[in-house]
Amino acid sequence: MRYLVLLCALTLLAQKPVGTMKDLMWKIIYPTSNAVFYVGHNPQKSEKDWQELQNNALTLAESANLLMAPERALDQARWMQDANLLRAAGEKAFKAATTHDLPALEALNDELYEACQSCHEHYRPGYKRKP
């Protein structure tokens, strides 16, 4: 079992990112987080709508794992804590979307906002700074 864990860890270390941090934010995290943030503005009317929301929520949760990859993690403490906040909110959104629980999804708004806000305050240059 230890060898399997070591092999998995080495495989992750050997991975090379395809996109930049900006690509991850704008092409994956931003659109998938908006699907959760604005879930009440665009009610799901069909199973296909719910599946699309599930896809977005799952992608959002998994994007946190991409942020925690060794070549992207800017430090081991704060960065990982912020990425884990994103993953937790994404996991809850995925579970709520899977059970078609609109109130639970709407209740996640603050938690998801805090995850984004915390990371941006620490790592996004110029965030919340007046010119």
For 28, the token pair is: 């994956």
Q: How far, CA to CA in Å, does 86 sit from each of 21, 47, 79, 111?
A: 15, 26, 11, 9
State the burial class of residue 101 (Cβ atoms within 10 Å of its Cβ: 0-12, 13-18, 19+).
middle
State pLDDT tens for residues 65-120. 998 887 777 777 888 899 999 999 999 999 999 999 999 999 999 999 999 998 88
As given in the structure block, the two tokens for residue 59 are 């992608």
Q: Supply the pTM of this predicted model.
A: 0.82
Angle (deg, nearest 10), helices 78-98 and 109-123: 160
